[in-house]
Structures are given as structure tokens and as C-alpha cells.
Amino acid sequence: MKRTLGIMAIVLFVFFMLYSACKVEAREVTLEWDDPSSFGSGLDHYNLYWGTESESLNRLVPIPPSNQYVMIFNSDYDNVDIYFGMSTVDTSGLESLLSNIVLAVDDQVVIDPPPVDIPVVESAATELLTFQLTVTDESGATSTDMVNVTVMYVNMVSVANAGDDLTVLTGSEVSLDGSLSSDVDGDVMSYLWTIITLPDGSVAALANETSVNPTFTPDRDGVYTFQLIVNDGTVDSEPDVVDVISFTPNKVPVANAGGDMVVDENSAVLLDGSASSDPDGDSITFLWEQVQGTTVELVNADTMSATFVAPNI
């Protein structure tokens, strides 16, 4: 009996030493995320998933809806890249899609969990699949059993596409295009366009904002930003935006060198371009050049009014 107790004591001592060594070498990873109150009142808990490059993510036990969780790994994971993902579960038990996968760096992980208002909604539509299993022993005796598999329809959220950014002329009617929006399930979509930003002073408005191709007329130069959300009859899509850049084309200035003149030789002559103008009201510059006749010296050739002395002829 004493010998047995002695062996047990040695075993317990060795186990304690090994446990202490593992505990010292354990890797601790702190996970943090935003305050769960920002994800709505319907949150029940989080599900945390983790894994390495060589394995898929595995579900852990549900995590209470706090904003921090500490995980401890044994020494096998000291120098291994560990990846984390998170889902939310609402009070009805419906789980969201997995968040972006995040790599643990310096034993600190910041995760952006998906919101509670889950963009995947189960409907009542189901289909029953029935399978039969038959087993036979070496004597030829058989037994059968049936199993039913109920397949639940899952509605996939639509994808809004507000089209490519546009560059247009101010004052011209513009048509927005949401025709590239899509729904994997083939559901009929409804459209809702809204104005996000307008240039200063603009009073432009959308016409037919619930159609696939609403229109508007830009009344100021600048950037107009529009948002499109589509709905498949069950849930709204994520919004998509499009920028429309409106501008007024520059008009060519009008040069006016004044009327033709007759002057005496050796007399001072004034060239007057003051009647020149710009339709846009832009400031203009001047440049006088002689293109024919005896060369003379132009004075102030880069101003509105240049002068020269008529040559001897």
C-alpha cells in the first residue's frame, strides 16, 4: 500500500511539473471588438471561430455579448498563425454570416463582428428529401431504415449596383442606371434612390426615384452623389453609391483688334484690343504680333493696347 501511494505521489508530482511547464509556455490571445450595444437590441451572443492555415475554422462555445474575450493556447500554437472569425446570433437563434477572417498579431486581435440585422433570412419554404438505408449481413438477412432531410429555403440578400461614375454637362438631363443590380434567387427587386450630396447652391431633385433609371438635371457645377438600395421583398441590400461630376464647358474668348487705320510715316500708332471679350466672363491675356510689312518695334505687346512708330516708306 505504501509503495502504491509512493508511485501515485511521483506520478502526481510529474503531472504537476508538466502542467506548470505547459502553463508557463501557454500562449494567451486577447480578442476585442466594438461595444455590442452598437449592433442592436436583438443580440443574444457571439459565436467565435478559429483555426490555422492548415485547418478550417472551428466553432467554439458561444461568447457572452461583451466586448473582450481571452483565449489560452498550449505551446503547440506558440509559433503558429491563428485566424479568428466571429458571427452574431440574435434572440431568435438566427446566426449571421461570418465576419472577415483576422490574423492574431502580437497576441492581440480586433474583430469587426457582423451586425445583428442579418442579411440572410430563412423562409417557410421547405423541401423534404427522404433516404433509405439497407444493411445486409453475410447470411443475406437485411434491414432497412428511413431518414428525412428537410431543406430550408434561405433568401440571399440582393446586391445593389448604382452604375459607374459619370461626367456630364451642367443643365443637361442625366439618367442614373441601377440595371446591373442583381438577386441570386431571381427575386423581383424594388429600387430606392436618394441624394447624398449636392454642390453648394444646387436645388436639383430626382425624378422617379423608385425606378431603375431615375433622372435629374444638374444645375450647378460640382459633384452629385446618389445612393441606391434594392429590396427583394424581404430585406434591403447594402447601399451602393455613384458620383456624377457636372461641369460647364469653357467658351472660346473673342479677340477684337479694332478697326483698320491709315497713319502717317514716323507717327506713333496705338493698337487697341479693348473690345475683346470672354463669353464666360473669364479674365483674358493679350499678345500682339506683327505678321506682315516692314518690321517695327512693338511696345507693350503683351497688354491690351500696344504702340509702335510707323516706318519710313
9-29 tens-digit pLDDT? 333 343 344 444 444 457 788
Confidence of residue 310 (pLDDT cuts 50, 70, 90): very high
CATH 2.60.40.10-classified regions of the chain:
2-118, 119-249, 251-313
Whole-number pLDDT of residue 2: 35
Pairing of strands 108-111, 27-33: parallel
pLDDT tens for residues 123-136? 456 788 889 899 99
Q: At the topology level of CATH, where does 2-118 sit?
A: Immunoglobulin-like (2.60.40)
Of 29-43, 143-157, 273-287, the range with the lowest mean pLDDT is 29-43
Q: What is the pLDDT of residues 175-212, one digit of tens each?
A: 999 999 999 888 899 999 999 999 999 999 999 999 99
Looking at residue 106, the DSSP 8-state letter turns out to be T
Q: Is the pLDDT of residue 58 over 90?
A: no
20-34, 36-50, 58-72, 181-195: range with lowest mean pLDDT: 20-34
**H or E stretch including 4?**
helix 2-25
Query: Given the C-alpha cell 510715316, which residue does it identify?
Result: 265
The residue-averaged pLDDT of 131-159 equals: 85
pTM for the model: 0.48
Question: Confidence class of residue 255 from pLDDT cuts 50, 70 and 90?
Answer: very high
In this prediction, residue 161 carries a pLDDT of: 97
Beta bridge partners of 22: none
**CA atoms of 30 and 18, how far apart (whole Å):** 25
Reduced to 3 states (helix: H, G, I; strand: E, B; else coil), residue 234 is coil
Mean pLDDT in residue range 157-168: 95
Section 147-151 average pLDDT: 81
Q: Is the pLDDT confidence value at 37 over 80?
A: no
What is the percentage of the chain residues whose pLDDT exceeds 70?
81
Query: Of 6-15, 172-181, 287-296, where does mean pLDDT reach its minimum?
Result: 6-15
What pLDDT shows up at residue 82?
Answer: 81
Q: What is the mean pLDDT of residues 90-106?
A: 74
**Residues 6 or more apart in contact with residue 205 via CB below 8 angstroms:** 195, 216
Q: What is the mean pLDDT of the chain?
A: 82
Tell me: pLDDT of 7 over 50: no
- Do 313 and 265 meet the contact criterion of CB atoms below 8 Å apart? yes
Looking at domain 119-249, its CATH class is mainly beta
At 186, is the secondary structure helix, strand, or coil? coil
Instruction: Determine the pLDDT at residue 215.
Output: 97
**Residue at grid coordinates 486581435:** 109
Per-residue pLDDT at 4 exceeds 70: no
Range 251-313 classified under CATH 2.40.50.100: no
Residue 299 β-bridge partners: 307
Q: In b/e form, how buried is each residue of 101-121, taking b as 16+ CB within 10 angstroms? A: ebebeeeebebebbebebbee
- Tell me: pLDDT of 3 over 90: no
User: Residue 159 pLDDT > 90, yes or no?
Assistant: yes
3-class SS of residue 220: coil
Cell numbers standing for residue 63: 461568447
